[in-house]
Copies of this chain bind each other. A is one copy, B any other.
Amino acid sequence: MIYNGKKVENIKIAYIGGGSRGWAWGLMSDLALADDISGEVALYDIDMKAALDNVIIGNKFNDAEGAKSKWSYYATETLEQALDGANFVVISILPGTFDEMESDVHEPEKYGIYQPVGDSTGPGGIIRALRTIPMMQVIADGVKKCCPLAWVINYTNPMTVSIKALYETFPEIRAFGCCHEVFGTQHLLATALGELRGIKVEDRREIKTEVIGVNHFTWITEAKYRDIDLFPVYRELVEKYGETGYYEGKDENWVNNVHRTTQQVKFDLFKRYGLIAAAGDRHLAEFCPGKWYLESPETVDRWGFGLTSVKWRKEGLAARLERSRRRVSGEDKITLSPTGEEGVAQIRALLGLEDLVTNVNIPNVGQISNLPLGAVVETNAVFRDSSLVPVMSGAVPTALKGLIDRIVCCQELVTEAAIKRDLELAYIAFIGDPLVTINHEKARELFNAMVKNTAKYLGEYNI
């Protein structure tokens, strides 16, 4: 890595899960648009073919219209080769395949448990964690060996336990988890300012928020735009749209879009807890007691969001594979557009190019005063020259603490269970999850079935 005036050259980024047909392309685009950093990106993937395709695609980004920097992409055969000497490590893997995810998401439906996403929490998130955590341990060991001072950026879900596993394996690791869910709520606040106050906010980054909680169950405790306190604005929005839901794009029919929501869960939570829940409704619903928003598909419908089926994901994958083929062959032209993610901004800040305050998932060292020390939490942090420091984010209010602490304990337990490869302990976490609203016999039956469906990835466990 070389500092050349205001630019940094020869940066090495290792991308674990480098065959990705989504996040990887986004990062390529954001890197190409940054004019003051350049270097190489080592792609590592257990699907070598996918990584090699992305090498071809990645290198084409250098020639896309508007590209401001050059990055050299190549694939490595081993994880160690990718990590060796890296300055930054990006982790964006699919733990298992969509077949395992199909079980995670849909097996519980047989017991009346519906999960709109199923990758962070709930039965699906817990079983996925059992697969993911051993992978994170391998990566952390690699970082320790090959690039102990590298900054490690994780995008993989389940986020919280992934970060926790990285730190448990290599306590000195400089890892953090990134998630864009808060950004969506900032965007919602910006829209509200426009609709209710006639103030046009160009970039959601101009909305300044303080957050507390855990990933996908994050809560805004303070929101400001210049000298405007946005809580009264949001309260007005909730009063106006609390019953009907709020559609930002009027012409779109949300039922057709598995990701769009009407914010009704978010609004309902605000009415009750007084803080602004800062994730998509699909995620938020999964962290609440199961009967609240997920009792049945009809309940889900009533709250105006959708259940993302794995069938839909598989179809999406097929489309992305086709898109990959076309990008490799040159049938599809590479175009640049900013993703809105903060990964590259975080990299630039850590390089000392521009200070940044944004939300991040790291172990609690006191930034949330009434959640357990060591548990991974989501709050703001300051990114500056080789430095990442969380900001003091205060205490979770009592009513919310009843909801969040339960999640935190469950996540702590799942991590411990996975690291010990102890399924019995994992089961104890499982029955403590708010979505597991079934009796002991059924819970055991479901747990066993889900474990069996993902057994290929649980070889080291005491099955």
Q: Contact between B437 and A289 (Cβ–Cβ < 8 Å)?
A: yes
What is the interface of chain A mostly: helix, strand, loop, or mixed? Answer: mixed
Q: Known contacts A3-B226, A391-B391; is A208 also within 8 Å of B369 by CB?
A: no
Binary interface encoding of chain A residues 276-316 relative to chain B, with 1 for a CB under 8 A from any of its CBs, else 0: 00000000000001111001000100000000000000000
Binary interface encoding of chain A residues 391-412 relative to chain B, with 1 for a CB under 8 A from any of its CBs, else 0: 1111000110111011011101
Q: Contact between A227 and B440 (Cβ–Cβ < 8 Å)?
A: no
Q: Measured between C-beta atoms, what is the minimum distance from A229 to chain B in Å? A: 7
User: Nearest residue in B to A299 (C-beta to C-beta)?
Assistant: B439
Q: Which A399-457 residues have a C-beta within 8 angstroms of B?
A: 399, 401-403, 405-406, 408-410, 412-413, 416, 428-429, 431-432, 436-440
Q: Measured between C-beta atoms, what is the minimum distance from A366 to chain B in Å? A: 5
In the bound assembly, the distance between CA atoms of A436 and B437 in angstroms comes to 11
A58 at the interface (CB under 8 A from B): no
In the bound assembly, the distance between CA atoms of A384 and B225 in angstroms comes to 9
In the bound assembly, the distance between CA atoms of A3 and B206 in angstroms comes to 14
Q: Contact between B385 and A437 (Cβ–Cβ < 8 Å)?
A: no
A56 at the interface (CB under 8 A from B): no
In the bound assembly, the distance between CA atoms of A334 and B431 in angstroms comes to 51
User: Looking at A289, A370, A403, which has the most chain B CB atoms within 10 Å of its CB?
Assistant: A289
Q: Contact between A386 and B227 (Cβ–Cβ < 8 Å)?
A: yes
Q: Known contacts A366-B392, A382-B382; is A428 also within 8 Å of B272 by CB?
A: yes
Contacts of A380 in B (CB 8 A): 382, 389
A contacts, CB < 8 Å to B: 1, 3, 8, 206, 208, 210, 222, 224-229, 268, 272-273, 289-292, 295, 299, 351-352, 355, 357, 365-367, 369-370, 372, 380, 382, 384-387, 389-394, 398-399, 401-403, 405-406, 408-410, 412-413, 416, 428-429, 431-432, 436-440
9 further contact pairs, Cβ within 8 A, besides A370-B372, A382-B382, A405-B409:
A1-B227, A208-B352, A224-B352, A227-B351, A228-B386, A291-B440, A357-B382, A398-B412, A398-B416
